[in-house]
Structures are given as structure tokens and as C-alpha cells.
Amino acid sequence: MHKLLLVFLLFLSITVFAQEAKTSQPTLPSPPIPVELMLGNKRANFLMIMNRPIDSRKKFSFFNVTVGAADYKNNFAETDIVINNALLYNLGRHFNASVGLQWNYKVGLVPSLGIQYSKAGPDYLVVIFPSYNLLPNAGLETVAIAEIKPKLSEKTRLYTRVQGLYVQNIKSGVHARSAFVMRAGLTFGKYTSGLGTNFDYYGPAKVEKNNIGVFFQIKL
């Protein structure tokens, strides 16, 4: 059970860190940071997305997506942690050039180059992030996120999200990793809760690991 505990500790520690980062830069207004935990029928899933400007003109920003999973039986094969860090340069028209460094629990360090498209409003969010992974194996990786969150009342919004990942190994020409995520729930202020599903596929054989459960999200 200690790996499940690690997921909870990661959830709490990043929540505190993100809150401190937000309050320490009052002159640079930034979008909220969603921190999410899903308790599923097979394992727990974690997600955090951060986008922070690092200069007053907002030409440069730091982008992070952290995902994790751990089962309830302390099975090493079910543990999955990936931390994506990227330095973005604003190209205009919602496009950013990216230089990134990913830490993968099972692969190691993965440097990458990419381009990001992102657009957001009170009722929606769209992020499309294709990148070229340089090491340890050359690969093409694409992350896409779409949220629709219409207002239902003064204090309540519907929350829906679809999220996809696809990684292709260029050298061997085979599937390396893919995932499809869905969420549906209600938002009350900065808190969101509802039902979720994660469909994960690993390696050339596309070994399938599905998870269905309830999720809890806080926006910092």
C-alpha cells in the first residue's frame, strides 16, 4: 500500500507547492492549477497541469503536466509516473514553441522539442501539444485536452473533459504508449467532482489497463 500512499502524498505536496507558487507572484496573473485525484476500481490516478508566465511580458512560460497511477496491491507493474516540464515561448495566435524535459518513472529522462496550441475561456479549454522526443528512443508524442464547462447556475458548472495521448517509436515504427481519459461532473467554485474513466495502452502489444471511478479536483 505504500505506493498508493505515495500518490496521496504527491497529491498533497504538489497542492501546497502550487498554492505557494501562486501567492508568491502576485504581479503575474495566471490561470488556475487543476490538481486531480481519481479513485478507480483498479488503481488511483493523479493529474496536475500548471502554466506559469516567468517574465512580465508573458513571452516565456513554464508548463508542467504531471500524471501518476498506482494500484491498491503494491504491484510495481501498475505504477506509472510521468512528469512533463517545458519552457514555452509565445509565438502569438495561441501558439507556443517548446523545449521540454520529461521524467518517466520507467524510461528515465526524455528531452523533447515541440509546439503547443492552447486556447481557453470561461466555458472551454483546448490544448494540443505535439512534440518530438529525442532520447532514449526517437519518438513522436501528442497530448490533446478539451474541456467544456458551461454555467448551470451562479455557483455551479457542468464539467466535461476528454484527454488523449499517443506516442509512436520512430525507429521501430511501433506503438509505445497511448491513453484516453474522460471526466464528467459538477463544479462548485474551485472544487469539481464526478465520474471518470482512464483507458491506458502500453508497448507494441498495446497492453490494456482500464480504470473507472470517481474523481476529485481542486483549482488553485
**Hey, what's the cell of 46?**
493523479
Q: What does the pLDDT look like over 103-116, one tens digit per residue?
A: 998 889 999 999 99
Q: What is the CATH number of the domain that holds 172?
A: 2.40.160
Give the C-alpha separation, 196 to 212, whole Å. 6
For residues 87 and 98, the answer to whether their CB atoms sit within 8 Å is yes
Domain that residue 198 falls in: 2-219
25 pLDDT more than 60: no
Specify the pTM. 0.83
Provide the strand spans (E) within the chain.
34-40, 43-53, 60-71, 80-92, 95-104, 108-121, 124-133, 139-148, 156-169, 174-188, 191-202, 207-219
Residue with cell 529522462: 109
Number of compact structural domains in the chain: 1
Q: What does the pLDDT look like over 191-209, one tens digit per residue?
A: 999 999 999 999 999 999 9
For residues 98 and 86, the answer to whether their CB atoms sit within 8 Å is yes
